[in-house]
A and B are shown apart, each in its own frame.
Chain A
Amino acid sequence: MKFRKFLGLRLLTWALTILIGVTFVFFIPRMFPSDPVESMIGQIQSRSGQMDPAQMEAMRAQLRVQFGLDGSLIEQYGSFLWNGLLHFDFGPSLMSFPTPAGEIIATYLPYTLILCLTSTFLAWLIGNLIGLRAGFQKNKRSSKIMESVAICIYPIPYFIVALVLQIVFAFVLGWFPLITTINQSGGTWEFLSSLLWASILPAISLLLIGTGWWIISMKSLSSSTAEEDFVMFARLRGLPEKSISNRYVLRNSIIPQITALGMSLGGVFGGSIMTEIMFGYPGVGMLIQKAIMASDYNMILGCITISIVAISTATLIVDLINPFIDPRIRYS
Chain B
Amino acid sequence: MQKSFKKMTAILLAVLLVVTCFAACTPTTPAESTSTPESTADAPVESTPEEPAESTPEEAPTGDGEMTDVGTPRAETLIVETQTPTDVPGQFNSYMQGTQMGFGIHQLMSAMMWEMDTVAAEQFGEVADGMPESNADFTEHMVKIRQGIKWSDGEDLNAEDVAFTFNMIMSNPGISQCDYYNQTFESVEVADDYTVKIVTKEAFPRLAQTFGVTIWGNDLRIVPEHIYSQQADTSTFKDENPVVAGPYTVKDYDPLGMWILYELREDWDASTLGVVTGKQPKAKYVWFRALGDDNTRQMALINNEVDILCEVTPEILEVMVAQNPNIAAWYKDFPYATSDDPCSKGISFQMAKAPFDNADFRWGITLAMNFDEISMSIFDGAGRASPFPILTATGAMMEAYYEPLVPWLEEFTLDLGDGTTVAPFDPGYGQRMADALTAQGRDIPTDEASLLDMFGIGCWKYDPEAAEKLLIKGGLEKRDDGWYFEGNPFTFNMTYLADTEVQAGRGLQAAYDQLKEFGLNVNLASESSATWDTNAAIGNYEVAGYWPTGGITKDLYSVIRGWDADLIVPLGERGSGQASRWNNAEATAIIKELSTISPEDDRAYELGMDFMKVAIADMPFIGFHSGVKYVPTNSTYWTNYPNADNPYNGPWWWWSCFKYIMVDFTPVA
Q: Do A and B come from one complex?
A: yes
Bound CA–CA A290/B550 (angstroms): 28
Stretch at the interface among B248-256, B331-339, B515-523: B248-256
User: Are B180 and A47 in contact, with the CB atoms below 8 A?
Assistant: no
Contact call B25/A208, Cβ cutoff below 8 A: yes
The distance in angstroms between the C-alpha atoms of A44 and B642, with both chains bound, is: 26
Contact across chains for B42 and A190 when beta carbons are under 8 A apart: yes
Are A39 and B296 in touch, CB under 8 angstroms? no
Assess A282 versus B291: contact at CB under 8 Å? Given A49-B558, A53-B562, A287-B87.
no
Within 8 A of A (CB), among B555-580: 558-559, 561-562, 564, 567, 574, 576-578
A107 touches B255 (CB 8 A): yes
Pair B534/A126 contact, Cβ less than 8 Å: no
Given A39-B533, A42-B536, A153-B20; A50-B550 close (CB under 8 Å): yes
> A211, B28: Cβ atoms under 8 Å?
yes
**Does B240 reach chain A (CB closer than 8 Å)?**
no
| Cβ-closest chain A residue relative to B41 | A193
Q: With A53-B562, A171-B299 as given contacts, are A293 and B174 in contact (CB-CB < 8 Å)?
A: no
In the complex, chain A residues whose CB is within 8 Å of the CB of B254 = 181-182, 184
| Chain A residues, Cβ within 8 Å of B210 | 52, 55
B69 at the interface (CB under 8 A from A): yes
Pairwise interchain contact B176-A59, C-beta atoms closer than 8 A: yes
Bound-complex Cα distance A178 to B36 (A): 17
Chain A residues whose C-beta falls within 8 Å of the C-beta of B179 in the assembled complex: 58-59, 61-62
- A39 and B537 CA atoms in complex are apart in Å by 10
Tell me the smallest distance from the CB of B76 to a CB of chain A, in Å: 18
Docked Cα-Cα span, A32 to B654, in Å, equals 32
Q: Which of B107-166 contact A (CB under 8 A)?
A: none
> B98 within 8 Å of A by Cβ?
yes
Judge whether B342 is part of the interface by a CB distance below 8 angstroms. Answer: yes
Is the Cβ of B24 less than 8 Å from the Cβ of A208? yes
B534 A179 Cβ-Cβ under 8 A: no
Pick from A90-98, A238-246, A249-257 the stretch touching chain B: A90-98
CA distance A287 to B45 in the complex (A): 29
Asked if A33 lies at the interface with its beta carbon under 8 angstroms from chain B, I say yes
> Given A33-B534, A39-B533, A48 and B218 touching (CB < 8 A)?
yes
Q: Which B residues touch A129, using CB under 8 A? A: 27
Q: In the complex, which of the residues A49, A54, A166, A212 contacts B214, with contact meaning CB atoms closer than 8 Å?
A: A49
Known: A99-B98, A182-B256. A293 touches B552 (CB 8 A): no
- Say yes or no: is A319 at the interface (Cβ < 8 Å to chain B): no
Given the known inter-chain contacts A96-B97, A293-B530, please indicate yes or no for A49 contacting B255, CB distance below 8 A: no
* B174 adjacent to A280 (CB under 8 Å): no
Q: How far does the alpha carbon of A234 sit from the alpha carbon of B548 in the complex, in Å? A: 80
Flag whether A150 is at the interface (Cβ < 8 A). Answer: yes
Q: B47 within 8 Å of A by Cβ? A: yes
B50, B97, B178, B562: the one within 8 Å of A97 (CB): B97
Q: Which of B53, B96, B501, B558 contacts A50 (CB 8 A)?
A: B558
Q: How far is the CA of A53 from the CA of B210 in the complex (A)?
A: 12
Q: Is the CB of A33 within 8 A of B25?
A: no
B654 touches A47 (CB 8 A): yes
Chain A residue nearest to B549 in the complex (CB): A50
Residues of A within 8 A of B53 (CB): 171-174
Q: How far is the CA of A283 from the CA of B49 in the complex (A)?
A: 22
**Is A167 on the interface with B (CB-CB < 8 A)?**
yes
A318 part of interface (Cβ distance < 8 Å): no
Is B56 an interface residue when CB atoms closer than 8 A count as contact? no
Q: Does B293 belong to the interface (CB within 8 Å)?
A: yes
Give the contacts of B185-238 with A (CB-CB under 8 A): 210, 214-218, 235-236
* Cβ-based interface call for B43 (8 A): yes
Q: Let me know if A197 and B534 touch, CB within 8 A.
A: no
B576 touching A53, Cβ below 8 Å: yes
A208-B21, A208-B25, A211-B25 given; A63·B176 CB < 8 A: yes
Q: What's the least CB distance linking A183 to chain B, in Å?
A: 7
Interface pair A107/B256, CB less than 8 Å apart: yes
C-alpha gap A50/B578 in the complex (Å): 10
Q: Is the CB of B559 within 8 A of A50?
A: yes
| Cα A104 to Cα B562 with chains together (Å) | 36
Residues of A close to B27: CB separation below 8 A: 126, 129-130
CA distance A185 to B252 in the complex (A): 8
- A49 close to B576 (CB less than 8 A): no
B17 touches A168 (CB 8 A): yes
- In Å, the complex CA distance between A54 and B256 comes to 36
Instruction: Kindly identify, within residues 50 to 88 of chain B, every residue whose CB is under 8 Å from any CB belonging to chain A.
Output: 50-53, 69-71, 86-88
* A41-B97 Cα distance, complex, nearest whole Å: 13
Contact A49 B550 (CB under 8 A): yes
Question: Complex formed: what's the CA distance from A129 to B28 in Å?
Answer: 11
Is A292 part of the contact surface with B, judged by Cβ < 8 Å? Answer: yes
Residue numbers in A under 8 Å from B236 (CB-CB): 98
- Inter-chain CA distance A58–B564, complex, in Å, is 17
Would you give the 0/1 interface string for A131-151, flagging 1 where the beta carbon is closer than 8 Å to chain B?
A: 000000000000001100110
Check if A179 sits within 8 Å of B49, measured CB to CB: yes
Q: Which of A168, A177, A204 contacts B14 (CB 8 A)?
A: A168
Contact B23 A181 (CB under 8 A): no
Q: Are A181 and B69 in contact (CB under 8 A)?
A: yes
Query: Does B529 sit at the interface, judged by CB under 8 A?
Result: yes
B70 / chain A contacts, CB cutoff of 8 Å: 185
Residues of chain B contacted by A35 (CB below 8 angstroms): 533-534, 537, 574
Which of A66, A98, A166 is most buried by chain B, counting CB atoms within 10 A of its CB? A98
Considering only CB atoms, which chain A residue lies closest to B12 in the complex? A168
- Asked whether B102 is an interface residue with its Cβ less than 8 Å from the other chain, the reply is yes
| Contacts known (A99-B98, A207-B28); A179 close to B88, Cβ less than 8 A | no
Determine the distance from Cα of A178 to Cα of B255 in the docked complex, in whole angstroms: 19
Query: Which of B17, B71, B532, B564 is within 8 Å of A42, CB to CB?
Result: B532
**A113 contacts partner chain B, Cβ-Cβ < 8 Å:** no
The reply to whether B292 and A168 form a contact with Cβ atoms under 8 Å apart is no
- Decide if A122 is an interface residue (CB 8 Å cutoff): yes
- Known: A49-B216, A197-B46. Contact between A293 and B529, CB under 8 A? yes
Determine whether the beta carbon of A98 is less than 8 Å from that of B96: yes
Q: Say which residue of B36, B177, B216, B293 sits within 8 Å of A47 (CB atoms).
A: B216
Cβ < 8 Å to B, chain A residues 161-207: 164-174, 176-185, 189-190, 192-194, 196-197, 200, 204, 207
Name 25 A/B residue pairs within 8 A (Cβ), A-sorted.
A34-B530, A41-B533, A42-B529, A46-B547, A47-B217, A49-B215, A52-B210, A59-B179, A126-B28, A146-B26, A164-B13, A164-B17, A166-B295, A167-B295, A172-B14, A173-B14, A179-B296, A181-B47, A193-B42, A197-B46, A208-B25, A282-B256, A287-B87, A293-B528, A293-B529
Given contact pairs A104-B87, A178-B291, a sample of 7 additional A-B residue pairs in the complex whose CB atoms are under 8 Å apart? A35-B574, A46-B547, A52-B180, A59-B180, A167-B13, A177-B46, A182-B258
Q: What are the nearest 10 A-B pairs in CB distance? A: A42-B533, A96-B98, A280-B292, A53-B577, A58-B179, A58-B180, A56-B576, A172-B10, A48-B216, A49-B215
